[in-house]
């Protein structure tokens, strides 16, 4: 794939001087399109393979997949709880968050997100924050607890 991309784009690179081109002109350059399309296609293929192999593993080893399915269910429940807790409005936030929102609204020139999308984003941010904190806590606690558990066994 890389060799095909290089063979298609390398001969044409000398025709363009990217340092002196304006932004509008650089968007018109299409010598890299094959690489972009190939990367997008491979990403979609990999995501599809991930889903197919994951479903195959669940179907063939349901008992061993149960803890993972329970974990995904817990994360989904946590997300929906956080989504329902989200405000869904651009006002009444922490001072720093409100400053960032005000800068966004000023730059957005009237293009604002609907309430449901704001609640979705709020749920994602809170879920990600909880999972990140939990990761660091487990990273610190598990090495301390593992020797104790191994001695009990």
Cα–Cα distances (Å) from 2 to 7, 8, 34, in that order, read 8, 10, 10
- Asked whether residue 72 falls in the same domain as residue 50, the answer is no
pLDDT tens track for 108-150: 777 777 888 888 988 999 999 999 999 999 999 999 988 888 8
State pTM to two decimals. Answer: 0.60
User: To which H or E segment does residue 108 belong?
Assistant: helix 95-108
- Asked whether residue 87 falls in the same domain as residue 152, the answer is yes
pLDDT tens track for 65-78: 999 899 999 999 99
- Asked whether residue 73 falls in the same domain as residue 141, the answer is yes
- Asked whether residue 78 falls in the same domain as residue 122, the answer is yes
Domain closes at, from 9, 25, 60: 60
CA 79, 119, 97 angle in degrees (round to 5)?
Answer: 105
Residue 126's domain comprises 62-153
pLDDT tens track for 13-54: 556 665 677 767 767 777 677 778 889 999 999 999 999 999
- Asked whether residue 84 falls in the same domain as residue 145, the answer is yes
């Amino acid at each position: 794939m890389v060799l095909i991309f290089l063979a298609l784009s390398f001969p044409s690179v000398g025709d363009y001087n990217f340092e002196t081109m304006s932004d509008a002109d650089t968007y018109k350059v299409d010598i890299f399109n094959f690489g972009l399309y190939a990367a997008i296609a491979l990403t979609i293929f990999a995501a599809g393979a991930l889903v197919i192999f994951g479903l195959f593993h669940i179907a063939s080893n349901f008992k061993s997949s149960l803890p993972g399915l329970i974990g995904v269910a817990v994360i989904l429940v946590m997300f929906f709880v956080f989504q329902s807790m989200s405000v869904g409005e651009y006002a009444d936030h922490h001072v720093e968050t409100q400053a960032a929102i005000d800068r966004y609204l000023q730059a957005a020139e009237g293009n604002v997100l609907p309430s449901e999308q704001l609640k979705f984003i709020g749920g994602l941010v809170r879920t990600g924050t909880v999972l990140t904190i939990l990761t660091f806590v487990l990273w610190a606690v598990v090495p301390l607890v593992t020797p104790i558990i191994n001695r009990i066994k």
